[in-house]
Amino acid sequence: MTYKKLLRCAGKTVLTLLYLVATDCHAQEPVQDHSCTVDAAGAFAVPAGEDGHNFDTGWGLQAGGGIAVSRPADSRGFSYYLTANFMYEKFRATAAALALAKASNPIQLAKATSAHAGFSAVTIDPSVRYAVNRRFSIYGVGGFGWFRRGVGFNGANPATLIQSNGIALDRLASNSGAFDLGGGANFGITKNGGLMLFAEVRVYRGLAINSGSTLVPISAGIRW
């Protein structure tokens, strides 16, 4: 056998092995879910609880990522993930809430013309997905983490809006724990799975000093 024939034979052997490995990996990889996941989305948010009286609806964003604890062997079945998620939402205070804050703090807020709140949360969330087929899956998520409620005023010296649980504080922000719970659906946009659009509804409930704060973000974005 000549040198060229040996090279040709070796090349065919390597290509064959690569094809077999790729075929085997593809067979073991779920069509939609991978061993890790990341996502980002924009959100329309509704304040609820006591803060439902303090703020109008707002906008924000969320992002997250995590790893798979268990995945199905084919395109259908349950996948279990452990994820970390970040949420930020911004709201404008209602006229009634601003008027009440000014009446409660007439010296500090005499010149206040508007107020807004920023809510942030970082949570650790176990989640479960159920793949209905190669392109569509539904999921539920819930967990616990850190929650921050901050309020700022425009047209006046910095001061705080009356806290949602009725306590007036001389600071701009309050931190506490929070629970979150939600669910949504993933829609595959590529033939081989992996890249998805998703829509989700989630509820965040503050604890302790933020116990009157409940947020309901409705988000849509992209996930891998």
Give the pLDDT band of residue 167 (cuts 50, 70, 90): very low
Mean pLDDT of 213-217: 96
| Mean predicted confidence (pLDDT) in 8-19 | 48
Q: What is the rounded average pLDDT of the residues 158-175?
A: 57
Per-residue confidence (pLDDT) for residue 5, from 0 to 100? 52
Q: For the chain, give every domain's residue range.
A: 1-29, 31-223
Positive or negative torsion for Cα 215, 61, 200, 81: negative
d(CA 183, CA 137): 11
What is the overall mean pLDDT for the chain?
Answer: 81
- Predicted local distance difference test score (pLDDT) of residue 82: 95
Query: Is residue 136 pLDDT above 80, yes or no?
Result: yes
Sign of CA dihedral 20, 24, 30, 34: negative
pLDDT for the residue numbered 163 = 56
pLDDT tens digits, one per residue of 67-114: 999 877 666 789 999 999 999 999 999 999 888 888 887 777 777 778
pLDDT number for residue 128: 95
What is the Cα–Cα distance from 181 to 215, expressed in whole angstroms? 11
Taking Cα atoms as reference points, which of 32, 26, 218, 29 lies closest to residue 130?
32
In Å, what is the CA distance from 138 to each residue of 68, 78, 187?
16, 10, 9
53 close to 161: Cβ distance less than 8 angstroms: no
Query: 31-223 maps to which CATH number?
Result: 2.40.160.20
Share of the chain above pLDDT 90, in %: 53
Largest Cα–Cα distance of the chain, in whole Å?
A: 98
Residue 43 pLDDT greater than 90, yes or no: yes
DSSP 84: E
Query: What sign results for the dihedral spanned by CA atoms 110, 112, 116, 122?
Result: negative
Q: Pick the more confident residue, 220 or 12.
A: 220
3-state SS string for 24-77: HHHHHCCCCCCCEEEEEEEEEEEEEEHHHCCECCEEEEEEEEEEEEECCCCCCE
Residue 207 has pLDDT above 70, yes or no: yes
